């Protein structure tokens, strides 16, 4: 059974897809800072790059890469064309676009100034289309679900049988190191037990990859299994990845014994969406709205790091959402003594 949960808070909608009661996907939509996936633009070519088999195009508010295979071939500087964002900006890489559009989309993007013509689907809209039979519930998440989601921003993964994983994103790839730790009697475990522990961890590992939206090249170093025997783990890993809506491809084993996965890059990974002053500020507003609703008599102040205050002041959508759920204007106080993403909720002093 599939269930969609949408929790709305000032400046943010968090969406959870549950499969038989277990969290299967998690996404964040911020109207004040959308990821742009699916947005339609009237764009202009600014720099063909034959060495990269594509061209950079201006979207007005950003630059994107258009591959030759998606419509850049034969285009020159100054050419205008309609494009759609197929991959959000991630890390140091800008968005990717395609000019392969439907006639309807192409007709919407008429000539004129370079601009965004239409917004793409939000994660909630995308999941409702992908899973039309899923029941939708729009309400705050349970405490248990909140705790599970909060754990997703940690680089550590708890796996069955005492196994654990450690995630290290880099600009080129994401490395996942598996460690048996105290599982299977630590390093004294027999090879068969080590193999079984890694095999049994694969379903949860694949689920965590999807939940955290890890993408691009992913390398997995299993624990305590000889390189020559690691090929036998590919079948259970492939079976575990089959449930992923993005259909990642298990490439095989590298010469060093790493399992190699290619997962499509579409929306940004959770470790990027959950980091930084803006994410911290929206988490603070979520707490402010909850505490204000629980006690209408309290008047609250949000004291936060300067970067957090600046991010919230720039997010007009979040401020408008907050104004609709509070009976008084929230006071923001900048405190340079706090860490870059630090914040504290306080009562107004008499």
Model pLDDT for residues 154-170, shown as the tens digit of each residue: 999 999 988 999 999 99
Pairing of strands 300-304, 331-334: parallel
Give residue 347's pLDDT: 85
**Longest Cα pair distance anywhere in the chain, in angstroms?**
71
3-state secondary structure of 246: coil
How far apart are the two ends of the chain, measured CA to CA in Å?
A: 52
Domains of the chain: 2-34+124-141 (no CATH), 40-118 (2.40.50.140), 154-270 (no CATH), 274-347 (no CATH)
Where residue 230 falls (left for φ over 0; alpha for ψ -120 to 50; beta otherwise) is alpha
| CA-based nearest residue to 211, from 11, 7, 17, 5 | 17
H or E element at residue 175: strand 174-179
| CA-based nearest residue to 84, from 117, 52, 62 | 117
Q: At what angle do helices 316-325 and 306-314 cross, to 10 degrees?
A: 90
3-state secondary structure of 122: coil
DSSP-derived secondary structure letter, 35: -
Chain segment 104-130, per-residue pLDDT in tens: 888 887 778 899 999 999 999 999 999
Give residue 181's pLDDT: 67
Could you identify the residue written with the tokens 């964002």?
A: 85
**Token reading at 6:** 């949408």
Give residue 283's pLDDT: 94
Give residue 161's pLDDT: 81
Chain segment 19-68, per-residue pLDDT in tens: 999 999 999 999 999 999 999 999 999 999 999 999 999 999 899 999 99
**Residue 182 reports pLDDT greater than 70:** no
Chain segment 285-344, per-residue pLDDT in tens: 999 998 888 876 778 899 999 999 999 999 999 999 998 888 888 889 999 999 999 999
**Residue 183 reports pLDDT greater than 70:** no
Mean pLDDT over residues 131-159, rounded? 94
Give residue 40's pLDDT: 96
What are the φ/ψ torsions at residue 245 (nearest 5 degrees)?
Answer: -60, -30
Give residue 350's pLDDT: 42
- The rounded distance, in Å, linking the Cα atoms of 89 and 95 is 4
Rg (CA), the chain: 23
What are the φ/ψ torsions at residue 105 (nearest 5 degrees)?
Answer: -65, -40
- The rounded distance, in Å, linking the Cα atoms of 250 and 261 is 5
CB atoms near residue 120 (< 10 Å):
18
Give residue 203's pLDDT: 96
- The rounded distance, in Å, linking the Cα atoms of 104 and 118 is 12
Give residue 100's pLDDT: 95
Mean pLDDT over residues 13-17, rounded? 97
- Cβ–Cβ < 8 Å for 215, 266: yes
Chain segment 187-217, per-residue pLDDT in tens: 545 778 888 899 999 999 999 999 999 999 9
| CA-based nearest residue to 234, from 205, 260, 213, 256 | 260
């Amino acid at each position: 059974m599939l269930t969609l949960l949408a929790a709305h808070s000032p400046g943010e909608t968090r969406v959870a897809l549950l499969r038989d009661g277990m969290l299967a996907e998690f996404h964040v939509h911020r109207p004040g800072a959308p990821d742009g996936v699916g947005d339609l633009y009237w764009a202009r070519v600014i720099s063909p790059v034959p060495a990269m088999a594509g061209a950079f195009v201006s979207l007005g508010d950003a630059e994107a890469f258009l591959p030759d295979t998606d419509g850049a071939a034969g285009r020159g500087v100054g050419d205008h064309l309609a494009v759609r964002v197929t991959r959000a900006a991630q890390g140091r890489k800008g968005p990717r676009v395609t000019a392969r559009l439907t006639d309807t989309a192409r007709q919407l993007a008429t000539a004129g100034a370079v601009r965004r013509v239409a917004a793409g689907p939000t994660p909630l809209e995308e999941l409702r289309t992908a899973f039309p039979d899923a029941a939708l519930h729009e309400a705050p998440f349970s405490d248990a679900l909140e705790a599970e989601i909060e754990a997703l921003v940690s680089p550590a993964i708890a796996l069955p049988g005492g196994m654990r994983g450690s995630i290290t994103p880099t600009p080129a790839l994401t490395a996942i190191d598996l460690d048996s730790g105290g599982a299977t009697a630590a390093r004294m475990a027999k090879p068969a037990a080590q193999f079984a522990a890694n095999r049994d961890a694969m379903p949860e590992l694949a689920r965590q990859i999807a939940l955290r939206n890890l993408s691009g090249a992913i390398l997995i170093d299993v624990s305590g299994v000889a390189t020559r025997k690691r090929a036998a783990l590919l079948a259970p890993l492939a079976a575990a990845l089959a449930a992923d809506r993005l259909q990642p491809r298990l490439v095989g084993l590298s010469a060093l014994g790493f399992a190699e996965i290619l997962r499509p890059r579409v929306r940004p990974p959770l470790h990027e969406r959950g980091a930084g002053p803006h994410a911290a500020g929206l988490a603070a507003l979520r707490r402010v709205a909850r505490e204000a609703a629980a006690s209408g008599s309290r008047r609250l102040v949000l004291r936060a790091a300067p970067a957090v205050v600046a991010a919230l002041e720039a997010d007009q959508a979040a401020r408008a959402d907050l104004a609709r759920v509070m009976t008084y204007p929230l006071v923001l106080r900048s405190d340079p003594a706090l860490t870059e993403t630090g914040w504290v909720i306080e009562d107004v002093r008499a």
